[in-house]
Amino acid sequence: MTSLSGITPSGRLTLGNYLGALSRFTDPDGFFFVANLHAMTTKHDPRRLATLTRECATLMLAAGIPPGAVFVQSDVPTHAQLAYLLECTSYVGELSRMIQYKEKGGRPMTRASLFTYPCLMAADILLYGAQRVPVGGDQDQHVELARDVAVRFNREYGDTFVVPELHKAALATRIKDLANPTAKMNKSDADDAVGTIRLLDPPDVIRRQIMRAVTDSDNEVRHDEAAKPGVTNLLEILAACTGGDPAQLALGYSSYGDLKRDVADAVLAVIEPLQKEYARLATDPGAIDGLLAQGRDRALAASEPRLQAAMRAMGLAGCA
Ligand code: AQP
């Protein structure tokens, strides 16, 4: 099964992005990309996007994702090309029902790309023939759309795409904001948000943030998401970093201070080697370019035949 996953460079990557995504991107046959085209659906700053794209790609390489598996979406033009073909097979009605558009769109100055980006996401998936797309609950609707588009395309223009199955990921760790532990930790939060741990922040800043994490007033270390979201989040982080079970780990603590100290140690034991490798790679921009070119070439080679097949099926002249 081909693994495929993207990270949108909508902010500096967080501990949540590492534990929930980067650290799981281990399939040497997979395709892992910086989804920079998806970062342009709302007003954006071109220089910041370029910086975040490079930082995200370098972090993916530093995290040990197999070389050749990492690429930048805009370097592989098949994504945008197939997205246009899929826009030509999608309906205004179904795109209007997408949650992001309903929440953020519908105004005269809404970018058209916020309306059509589900077609780009369908292209990301369909280009590589991914059969099972593991997603968190917030992405179900996108995979459903990719399925609908693939079924319709195959019916109208001939069998071209593998219809992906919606594959509910096993309960994925959802790292919460340290200052607001009922909300997810998001990379697009303000750069100075105290509850967001950034992978490239100095270790002393990260330690301070963890020591100041919001808990509660009863000082009992217990895994109970509803009653104790802050403590539960710390236990989840500790478990994700050390490979333990959060409820079991709770039994070893009688004070929040001890728990926080161990969480800080465990997080830094994961982040410091990552930062070291990032710094090493960053000294050689040419080598990073080379690795990304390798990923680009492999993604192009893997996706081009399906794009060509879709073009032929739709009757576009001049394609091989
Ligand atoms: N808090 C989190 N805990 C665990 N996993 C997380 N991921 C994100 N936040 C957490 C995983 O990281 C990947 C990034 O996917 P994305 O860039 O498409 O956007 P997202 O899921 O919306 O991530 P963010 O960081 O919250 O970005 P913004 O702020 O732009 O919305 C996914 O695999 C996601 O599960």
In a mutational test of the pocket of ligand 1, which residue from 73, 120, 187 has the highest number of ligand atoms less than 8 Å from its CB?
187
Residue 29 within any structural domain of the chain: yes
Let me know if residue 194 belongs to a domain.
Answer: no
**Which residue among 43, 102, 104, 276 is the active-site one?**
104
pLDDT of residue 159: 97
ipTM associated with this complex: 0.96
> Are 97 and 31 found together in one domain?
yes
Q: Which domain holds residue 225?
A: 203-280
184 in catalytic set: yes
Residue 233: give its domain's CATH number.
Answer: 1.10.240.10
Residue 319 pLDDT exceeds 60: no
Which of 46, 42, 48, 8 shows the shortest CA–CA distance to 191?
48
Tell me the whole-structure pTM to 2 decimals. Answer: 0.94
The 10s digit of each residue's pLDDT in 14-51 is 999 999 889 988 888 899 999 999 999 999 999 999 99
Question: Looking at 184, 228, 260, 276, which residue is catalytic?
Answer: 184
Categorize the per-residue pLDDT at 191 as very low, low, confident or very high, splitting at 50, 70 and 90.
Answer: confident
Percent of the chain with pLDDT over 70: 95
Please tell me if the CB atom of residue 173 comes closer than 6 angstroms to any atom of ligand 1: yes
Task: Examine the domain organization and report whether 264 and 309 are in the same domain.
Answer: no
Q: Please state the rounded mean pLDDT for residues 227-252.
A: 96
List, for residues 130-177, the tens digit of each pLDDT value: 877 766 656 788 889 999 999 999 999 999 999 988 766 555 578 999
Per-chain mean pLDDT for the chain: 93
Residues 95 and 15 in one domain: yes
Is 72 inside any structural domain?
Answer: yes
* pLDDT tens, position by position, 54-111: 999 999 999 999 989 999 999 999 999 999 999 999 999 999 999 888 888 888 899 9
Measured CA distances, 101 to 10, 97, 98, 263, 284 (Å): 17, 7, 5, 38, 40
Residue 306 and residue 164 in one domain = yes
Task: State the CATH number of the domain containing residue 60.
Answer: 3.40.50.620
Number of domains in the chain: 2
Among protein residues, the one with the nearest Cα to ligand 1's atom 12 is 17
Percent of the chain having pLDDT more than 90? 81
Tell me: do 305 and 267 sit in the same domain. Answer: no
Residue 320: pLDDT over 60: no
